[in-house]
A and B are shown apart, each in its own frame.
Chain A
């Protein structure tokens, strides 16, 4: 027993949960509180949901002798980001009916509903199910939504890569019947549940699942809009003569860190080899099982695969992988990424279909005065014969638009005041996490605030004639990294309300992280720090040189070459 590690609290909860059941059934029906029992707040994540409170109201309600306004954020998996018009319509309606009236498109191509009350959670999930969507493994210590870049017009192999992403997603979906039992009255539509009477089993995950969340993304070069290096497992599609032949495999990416703990750091995934397409699902499974067995289950701050890798060393990890696979990965093949952003506006693919990439500020599909995006998209979903594609940058592609529908779509967008791409390069590339008022981890604003900050920066950019330059700005309310802030050419990470650390110098294509430049800046401080940098960039950049690269060349910050030197 001496070598038995002291497991973290969550490990005990998982162990005792009977495959993610816990006391959720009782939690859900307790009418005296909008909250779940404490242990169940860990388990609900595996079902796709986080318990949150409206932090704007916490102190007011405390005084009113009311408990915090608890609600649930619930995340719907959309592997590869592709949803049908019927699914869009359903999500739109559920947001109105049970959510806060908005849809959040996440940085991982999922839908999020916010503000769902406990008593409506079951009906909401049943609503997903009827539209053939689910939320299982939306969060929790399992493989999350599998990302794949959505640009159908850019590559003939997109369809093949998208298929692979769905296969991976299905293969790594938890097998427990708890999801069906709790939310769907036992009925299983995509039967991953065992037959009646059999005990649950998780052949890949086991009873306690993974030590921590696990993220997989696929990308087809030259586009890295899924930011594959920020993932535990990144797969770079390699095509030869118009055919998908396989993937370069990168492991150990992850954005999260904790202030004041230099042992924690963001890290980009390391390339370890190439695998032919037909074996890629197996590679994913084996990497997951190594992390399952080797990952740190004592301290969740060090549980991600990136720490496992840096602890055992890449060579040891690769040897173990080869052993579990029964074959060795081939050498990494050549590829080139050019950008990690989205290309806005209309495009056409060789098959004649039209595609429209729409800018969605903060990924928030809402009706606002002057711009009723949500209503416009609802009307479009009613006749659109193609699909809706969520991008890794919180934007939306109306894909495979029939040529005769193009004018109608433009008319509807114009009617509801939805601009296609008239904004600044800074704004259209911006990413922000939800942060306040619902995320319990946030120290500062992000999604609600970044538009105002950009309002301040745009005149500065205009003064230096940089309005149309694509500069990646990313903001999060805490250092955990949901909007991949360490891959922003400008990264702003919340320290306290109204105070941010400023990080600079990431690569435009997502292959280099940024570095801390200034701490605890308020809005005036941010503007004051960035203004001379924009001025210098406007005057002294080289042709095609991106802002992040320029700042390093000029010596404002040192290049971060590895997670281990991120803090240096």
Chain B
């Protein structure tokens, strides 16, 4: 082993290394290599961005050289990714830019900005991401300064199926203009697939900036700033070896990986009202890496039954030819694989209404914004075609409908525990509406259509923030109902494999103990082995009074507050409307009660938790 020590960097010797790594398994070593790589990237990145901001005033003496800041507000990491795309585009043009996160952005800095590119997403029904809340509130308030010197542009991210599509980006854009800032280019609103739009927008706006003279900072710093984004965006798991050897194939929506289904298990016992599946996909040969907290995108096919119903309702031939993105396909294939049928969104309804001007009712539905969500809820394309029949061709139908999107599932496994596999916990969505049986497109695709041995098209969607604490000794509190327990299975597996010293506390809820205790025997094993330290359960329907997760949190008030005071990270995953709000309310009660300092204090406490990314949500 003496030869290997000669390759060690100065300051290291074999004995020290042995001491540091004693008792670690191969997996743990592999993990550690990635972790250290990621940490170096993060540290140098942070240092680089400090350098850039510090350097700006020093070089301000140089004439007519406005600074360029790319400011992002991200919830799931997509805006951060988009900011990275813009930064990379700037670098390629030799433009120096500072990339900053709204979460850590002091509002007073706004006055000193000269050229500002805002990348921000919208959450739910028009809310800013948590990271952007403070800046957004400040900007929209009367305290916001006039910004006559500022030149800016906004790239807005969102999801077209929501009514308040890209609302936050819209508000940033409007308000900056109101404050006197000069808009460089028109705002662009991106749907779920944002990459192409981001590239286009970046090209357009950076072209203008480049024409007006190069910014000051040295290209070297710009590179570091861009690298900062890239380095932290890369999963620590990507590990030294994989990154250094070659650029791995990147699997995306454009280039999904065909993952074989290895195992499918119905997790609910007989007699349950729930239908939850545990699915295990193979990633063998893909080189795909992910971290606990990431999501897997799964590209579904529509159900044959639904496709038939749509064909029948439209009175169209199953084999009718349709041209889609320069390829000629038959209508059945298009409806099965390419277009969304199980959901009707506002944009689809608008395009359909344009084809059917003789239905004034459609216009009314579209103009009554308050009533629109209720109308759309539970309606699918077959409903729409039956309710407002029109003569249309297959080509026209295809033009009305939106692309069939992939669905994101919180990954339920750790690669350290299951090499080259990814596990999901999928709840089959089934209900009746408009007199028809409805099935969630992707959940039923996995529950009913996909058999063991079949493949599904998948890729990883990184979740930038919903991650385990960097410090393995930090305690974590995981709160999940139903399939919301998925990422916590990944968390606990990961911390078990790495031997993290922090306490792992899980709070789980579902209707019934005997049938709905998802992963019960795994949790029991983790408890026995000491890799799960506490498990509280709330089975809502097992007693007369319904009992939910938030009741358990309130019962454990003191313990919960003590752990938060001790630096614990608090994670919530599951249903946004029914659970997340209740959990947050319970947490506020706990903080107010245990601190003895009242509600305002609790609200601020929680806000600080959010800002410091110790209160993290993965809700849907």
Mark A residues whose CB is within 8 Å of B.
31-34, 57, 60-67, 69, 117, 119
Contacts and interface: CB of A to CB of B under 8 A. Distances in A.
Among A31, A57, A69, find the residue whose CB has the most chain B CB atoms closer than 10 A: A31
Contacts of B539: 31
Contact of B514 (A32, A60, A63, A69): A69
Interface in B526-566: 527, 535-537, 539, 542
Given A66-B520, A67-B520, A32 B537 contact: yes
B548 to A, nearest CB: 14
B269 A61 contact: yes
B278 A32 contact: no
B519 A65 contact: yes
Nearest to B535: A32
Given A32-B527, A34-B514, A64-B265, 15 more contacts: A31-B513, A32-B535, A34-B513, A57-B270, A60-B270, A63-B265, A64-B266, A64-B267, A64-B269, A65-B518, A65-B520, A65-B521, A65-B522, A67-B521, A119-B542
A61 B542 CA distance: 19
B281 interface: no
B91 to A, nearest CB: 48
A65 B265 CA distance: 9
Contacts of A57: 269-270
Contacts of A67: 520-521, 524
10 contacts: A31-B513, A32-B520, A57-B269, A62-B521, A64-B266, A64-B268, A65-B267, A65-B278, A66-B520, A67-B524
B488 interface: no
A66 B521 contact: yes
A57 B268 CA distance: 12
Contacts of B513: 31, 34, 117, 119
Nearest to A62: B521
A69 B266 CA distance: 16
B152 interface: no
Among B520, B535, B539, find the residue whose CB has the most chain A CB atoms closer than 10 A: B520
B517 interface: yes
Contacts of B266: 64
Nearest to A31: B537
A33 B514 contact: no
Interface in B484-532: 513-515, 517-524, 527
Interface of B: 265-270, 278, 513-515, 517-524, 527, 535-537, 539, 542
The 7 closest A-B pairs by CB, nearest first: A65-B521, A66-B520, A65-B519, A31-B537, A66-B269, A64-B267, A67-B521
A34 B535 CA distance: 15
Among A32, A57, A69, A119, find the residue whose CB has the most chain B CB atoms closer than 10 A: A32
A61 B535 CA distance: 21
Nearest to B278: A65
A67 B518 CA distance: 10
Contacts of B278: 65
Contacts of A31: 513, 536-537, 539
Contacts of B523: 32
Nearest to B519: A65
B515 to A, nearest CB: 8
Contacts of A33: 524
A35 to B, nearest CB: 10
B524 A32 contact: yes
A448 B266 CA distance: 28
Contacts of A63: 265
Among A57, A61, A66, A69, find the residue whose CB has the most chain B CB atoms closer than 10 A: A66
A117 B518 CA distance: 18
Contacts of A69: 269, 514
A69 B516 CA distance: 12
Contacts of B515: 66
Nearest to B522: A65
A437 to B, nearest CB: 13
A60 B266 CA distance: 10
A43 to B, nearest CB: 22
B491 to A, nearest CB: 17
Contact of B517 (A60, A62, A66): A66
A62 B519 CA distance: 10
Nearest to B267: A64
Nearest to B515: A66
B426 to A, nearest CB: 14
A209 to B, nearest CB: 31
Nearest to A119: B542
Contacts of B527: 32
A521 to B, nearest CB: 33
Nearest to B543: A119
Nearest to A120: B542
A64 B269 CA distance: 7
Contacts of A60: 270
B278 to A, nearest CB: 7
Nearest to B270: A57
Contacts of B524: 32-33, 67
B449 to A, nearest CB: 21
Nearest to A61: B269
Nearest to A118: B513
Contacts of B542: 119
A67 B513 CA distance: 11
A428 B519 CA distance: 47
B537 to A, nearest CB: 5
A36 to B, nearest CB: 14
Contacts of B537: 31-32
A62 B536 CA distance: 22
Contacts of A65: 265, 267, 278, 518-522
Given A32-B537, A67-B520, A117 B265 contact: no
Nearest to B508: A32
Contacts of A64: 265-269
A303 B3 CA distance: 70
A270 to B, nearest CB: 48
Contacts of A62: 521
A117 B269 contact: no
Nearest to A56: B270
A104 B267 CA distance: 32
Nearest to A70: B514
Among A33, A61, A65, A117, find the residue whose CB has the most chain B CB atoms closer than 10 A: A65
A57 B527 CA distance: 24
Nearest to B276: A64
Nearest to A68: B521
A32 B266 CA distance: 20
B213 to A, nearest CB: 63
A64 B539 CA distance: 18
Contacts of A66: 267, 269, 514-515, 517, 520-521
A119 B537 CA distance: 14
Contacts of A117: 513-514
A67 B515 CA distance: 10
A32 B538 CA distance: 10
A305 to B, nearest CB: 40
